[in-house]
Structure 1
């Protein structure tokens, strides 16, 4: 099979021929049809932290099960059946310990960390959901404590049932922000809680964000120098109760922190080092965690060891079970991000996709000098590459 392989010592990334992996106990083999790009895919290829001679890179994928590992044939779960359309995510080269990558023609994965893709959704669209969707779910539910519709937790750690909970999503049109908004709305419907959803995003995205499934109550332009004050006004002076900073870099962290009330919680998705902020300067300490915890393994990541977290893995399996119910009832649980289908397959991920993603701070991403339409600046879209047509 072909795979996109990083050589950490030289920072070289190239398409190579490798043996097709074989599924172990609890795993299935997947023929990959589409992969979606995330900023971490480029960051840890250009600035490797992997310590092996070579690593397959990439996180998000979708494809079709072609074989199953030992002891799975007797299970009734669709995700253990040959021919099932599935999606999930791997860690790729985003760790020091050897973890599988997704950018290959065939991959193996634990069946319970996959979700069954409904017939109404393309595999290209499904490839854009898993990692970013789980990241948002961890932030909204595990860290902010909003009622979770799929974890049996409909109580909230904020206010009473009659209170209005003010929730802010900064950079609301990003992939992470789009999933976070949908999950907040699902939380409100499942629990009956009154939530005022406030978004900070470019004014050009406001009409889009007012519509289903995002349904923002209030939107401000984050380029407006007075946006923090406008957010506070929207809360009737009470301040934000729960905040998701979808960028989590430098000034965004400080600004979002300034919207919070004294009892608030704030979820961030980059640590102080990567996000370049100082927690000691923040009145409300942000809550950070890595999506990789959901994979259930000890992980070496950015100079730290993230211990294996059984609870995080259980949460991840419940999230993917929740997404899988769409295959039975036909009701998509999370609408995929708007897609930008990129040409060229594995061979063009680095020269095109990584150039658009950049390898540093998302907030400082620069435009490319390329004039192809598919190389226009990324805004509110997920880049997807076809590996094999459906």
Structure 2
């Protein structure tokens, strides 16, 4: 098959004779119809390139072969899923390929109302928002449809970077879990965030941003998910958290110059790849052993979110479709690296239907 792999001298390159992976127990071989690009796809190639390993995390496609023990899916099903691109421990695992192995309990059936280009953009956001909101700080869920939790109806949760793909997913999930999502974003994206369910939007460039959030939340904010994670944003989030303290979960390594300025805040950061339950064999702070509790959470989380998808209660982030198929993807990753794409997620169809 054709695939986009880590190049021998860095970057990505097109490989045209990669072995099609064989289904393992609990996995499904899928024909990839569309893939989405995420910031991690260009960051990981700089930090931890693995020559010959298939890149990419987000995909949607159709099941063509079942591994042993798979029961939720059958051949021909439309699925979306998440995987670990440029995985040193499994070079075939990435999504930027004509075929990929989907993990049964980290996949969702794609409803007919969603196209493959829409569906491919959701897997990593579902995993990241789920871990950051409902596993790491322990916000409460109610099954089976994330109905509002009455006793939490006055609990605010701040999503810093609400106009990101993970941000808009987090807003939607928080609403269905009964929380009151508020966000920071550029004022030009207020309407976008509000359309996904944000109760209030705050300008992260405003010198009074943290004070404004404190006033809006009556000094009660205790939960923050930071999709931006730089020193200035972390400082703002810390200042927005109420005087009783709380939790701060970031999607990048946190800075110690801010982390220990308040002892009443539990600060941590995560990599969504840990939801796969495999060790992350990466350098420095990004490397970590397997996290069984994240894998257990994922097996519970994806089937739960699938119910919301089937009922049309959650939807994808705004998209920007790039044509040219798999051969154009190294160029598209470079475009993402420049930071010129904002408030949209890049997706690439691989199969014309």
Is TM > 0.5 for Structure 1 vs Structure 2? yes
Does residue 302 in structure 1 map to residue 283 in structure 2? Answer: yes
Query: Are the equivalent residues in 1 in contact too, given 2:146–2:177 (CA < 8 A)?
Result: no
Change (3 A) 1:12 1:335: closer
Aligned residue number for residue 65 of structure 1:
63
Does residue 54 in structure 1 map to residue 52 in structure 2? Answer: yes
- 1:36-185 to structure 2, matched below 5 A, reads 36-50=36-50, 53-72=51-70, 75=71, 77=72, 79=73, 81-93=74-86, 95-99=87-91, 100-150=93-143, 161=151, 164-185=154-175
Change (3 A) 1:196 1:5: closer
Does residue 331 in structure 1 map to residue 311 in structure 2? Answer: yes
- Give me the whole-angstrom Cα distance separating, in 2, the residues matched to 1:124 and 1:111: 20
- Give me the whole-angstrom Cα distance separating, in 2, the residues matched to 1:289 and 1:34: 26
Change (3 A) 1:41 1:282: farther
- Range 259-268 or range 28-37, more displaced: 259-268
- Give me the whole-angstrom Cα distance separating, in 2, the residues matched to 1:294 and 1:320: 11
Aligned residue number for residue 15 of structure 1:
14
Aligned residue number for residue 318 of structure 1:
300
The alpha-carbon deviation at position 38 of structure 1 amounts to 0.5
Q: Number of matched residues?
A: 348
- Give me the whole-angstrom Cα distance separating, in 1, the residues matched to 2:266 and 2:325: 42
- Give me the whole-angstrom Cα distance separating, in 1, the residues matched to 2:288 and 2:164: 26
Query: Are the equivalent residues in 2 in contact too, given 1:32–1:62 (CA < 8 A)?
Result: yes
Query: Are the equivalent residues in 2 in contact too, given 1:293–1:313 (CA < 8 A)?
Result: yes
Change (3 A) 1:311 1:149: same
Listed as ranges, the gaps of 5+ residues in structure 1 are 189-194, 359-364, 366-376
Change (3 A) 1:277 1:295: farther
Residues 331-384 of structure 1 deviation map (CA, whole Å, 9 limit, x = unaligned): 1342111111012112222213332334xxxxxx4xxxxxxxxxxx32211100
- Give me the whole-angstrom Cα distance separating, in 2, the residues matched to 1:19 and 1:96: 16
Change (3 A) 1:118 1:31: same
The alpha-carbon deviation at position 307 of structure 1 amounts to 2.2
- Range 247-256 or range 145-154, more displaced: 145-154
Change (3 A) 1:199 1:70: closer
RMSD value, Cα:
2.5
Change (3 A) 1:136 1:343: same
Residues 10-63 of structure 1 deviation map (CA, whole Å, 9 limit, x = unaligned): 11421112122221222211000000001110112233343xx42111110000
Change (3 A) 1:276 1:353: farther
- Give me the whole-angstrom Cα distance separating, in 1, the residues matched to 2:198 and 2:19: 48
- Give me the whole-angstrom Cα distance separating, in 1, the residues matched to 2:82 and 2:59: 6
Residues 304-342 of structure 1 deviation map (CA, whole Å, 9 limit, x = unaligned): 542222221121122211233357xx4134211111101
Q: Which runs of 4+ in 1 moved over 6 A?
A: 151-156
| TM superposition score normalised by structure 2 | 0.90
- Give me the whole-angstrom Cα distance separating, in 2, the residues matched to 1:217 and 1:352: 34
- Give me the whole-angstrom Cα distance separating, in 1, the residues matched to 2:42 and 2:11: 12
Query: Are the equivalent residues in 1 in contact too, given 2:145–2:308 (CA < 8 A)?
Result: no
- Give me the whole-angstrom Cα distance separating, in 2, the residues matched to 1:265 and 1:255: 14
Query: Are the equivalent residues in 2 in contact too, given 1:34–1:63 (CA < 8 A)?
Result: yes
Residues 115-165 of structure 1 deviation map (CA, whole Å, 9 limit, x = unaligned): 111111111111111111210111111122222134899999xxx927721
The alpha-carbon deviation at position 179 of structure 1 amounts to 0.9
Aligned residue number for residue 215 of structure 2:
233
Give 1:205's match in structure 2, choosing from 189, 202, 219.
Answer: 189
Aligned residue number for residue 346 of structure 2:
383
- Give me the whole-angstrom Cα distance separating, in 2, the residues matched to 1:250 and 1:345: 37
